[in-house]
A = this chain, B = another copy of it.
C-alpha cells in the first residue's frame, strides 16, 4: 500500500461531508452558527526542510504553511496545536524562538499540543493543526471552477525556488528571495477578501502547475495556462538575481531563454500565493494576475506566446 493507495483508502473512511473527500486544503465543519476550518501539516527533517536548517525557520514555516491553507479558504485563524519531537537542546531553543516570532507576527494563539521524547537518532518530525472559522459562506473549495472562468494568482511565482537554489549553491542571494523560501508569509487577509468572489481557491504549495491541475480535476474541467502570463519577478525570470534593485514590480518572462527556468519555477512550489478561479469580468478586491482559463473537458495544457509547450514529467511536488 503506497501513498496513493493509502490516501484512497483514507478517502473510503473519510465519508463525512466535513472531510470534503480529502480533496481540499482544509476540513470544513459546521458547528452551531459557526463553520470551523481545520488543517494539519507535518514537516519531516530531510524531506520538508534540510537537516541543517535553522530551527527558527522550520518553526516559522510550519506555522506559515498551515496558515496558508486556512488563508486559501478565507478563514480567520483562531489558533494552533503543536506536535513537537524533542531534539538537541540548542535545536529546541531555536525552534521555540522561531515559533514565538511567527505566532507573534501572525497574532496567532498557541492553544496546546504534545511534546514527545524520542531517541537522539530519531527522525525529527513536527506537526501543527491550525483551527479557523469561516468568514464567508460557502467556504471556497477546489471544485467550484466553471467553464470560461479565469485562473488567477495573487503574486509572484518562483521567488522561493530562486531563494532555495541560491542558498543550496552557497551563493549570496537577495534577502527577500531567501525569505520567500525560508519564511513565507501566508496571505490570510487576502484570502478573506477574495473568498466571497471566487468559484474555487487553494494555495500554491506544491507548484503552480500541479496545484492548478488539482482545481481543474476537482472541478471536472480542462485548463489552459499561458506561461507568458505568469507573474515572475524580473530578477527571478532572467536569473539576474543580484539585480535586486531592478525588481520594482512583477513582470512576465519575455523570451524563450527564460522559459526553461520558468518551467522549473512553476513546478517547484512553496510560493504560498493564492490560486483561484473567478469569472473573467469579476471585480476583485485585491491585485491578481490571470494566468489561465478553464474550459470544458479535461487535462492541462501549457503555452507560451501562442505556442504549445510540452508538460513537464512532474507537475510539482507530490509527496507532502
Binding site for B on A (CB under 8 A): 1-3, 6-7, 9-10, 12-16, 18-20, 22, 24, 26-27, 29, 31-34, 36, 38-44, 46-48, 78-79, 81-86, 89-90, 92-93, 96, 99-100, 103, 109-119, 121-123, 125, 127, 129, 131, 133, 319-320
Given the complex of chains A and B, what is the CA–CA distance between A116 and B118 in angstroms? 19
B92 and A6 within 8 A (CB) = yes
Taken together as a complex, chains A and B put the C-alpha atoms of A38 and B36 apart, in Å, by 12
CB neighbours of A40 from chain B (8 A): 81-83, 112-114, 127, 129
Whether A47 and B110, one on each chain, are in contact in the complex, defined by CB atoms closer than 8 angstroms, is no
Per a CB cutoff under 8 Å, which of B18, B32, B86 touches A79? B18
A38 in contact with B110 (CB, 8 Å)? no
Q: Give me the 3 closest cross-chain CB pairs, A-B, nearest first.
A: A16-B109, A27-B111, A122-B123
Q: A2-B86, A40-B113 are in contact. List 12 more A-B contacts (CB 8 A).
A: A9-B96, A16-B109, A19-B79, A19-B109, A24-B112, A29-B111, A40-B129, A42-B114, A44-B116, A46-B119, A47-B116, A117-B319
User: Given the known A-B contacts A3-B115, A96-B10, A96-B13, are A110 and B19 also in contact in the complex, defined by CB atoms under 8 Å?
Assistant: yes
Which residues in B have their C-beta under 8 angstroms from that of A129? Answer: 38, 40, 81, 129
The smallest beta-carbon distance between A218 and chain B, in angstroms, is 15
* A112-B13 in contact given A29-B78, A40-B81 (Cβ < 8 Å): no
B116 touches A13 (CB 8 A): no
Q: Is the CB of A127 within 8 A of B112?
A: no
Q: A34-B32, A99-B13 are in contact. Are A44 and B110 (CB under 8 A)?
A: no
Q: Which residues of B contact A29 (CB under 8 A)?
A: 78-79, 111, 131
Contact at B42–A83, with CB atoms within 8 Å? yes
- The one of B38, B100, B127 in contact with A42, judged by C-beta atoms closer than 8 angstroms, is B127
User: How many Å lie between the Cα of A164 and that of B128 in the bound state?
Assistant: 31
Which one of B6, B42, B115, B123 contacts A10 once the chains associate, using CB atoms below 8 Å? B115
In the bound complex, what is the Cα–Cα distance between A243 and B149 (angstroms)?
72
Chain B residue numbers with a CB within 8 Å of A115 are 3, 6-7, 10
CB-defined contacts of A123 to chain B, threshold 8 Å = 118-119, 121-123, 125
B118 near A44 with CB under 8 A, answer yes
Which residues of chain B come closer than 8 Å to A44, judged between CB atoms?
85, 116, 118, 122
6 A-B Cβ contacts within 8 A?
A1-B89, A13-B99, A18-B109, A20-B112, A29-B78, A40-B127
> What is the distance, in angstroms, from A137's C-beta to the closest C-beta of chain B?
14
- Are B42 and A85 touching (Cβ within 8 A)? yes
Provide the residues of chain B in CB contact with A3, threshold 8 Å: 86, 115, 117
A129 vs B271: C-alpha distance when bound (angstroms): 27
Determine how close the nearest CB of chain B comes to the CB of A70; give it in whole angstroms.
12
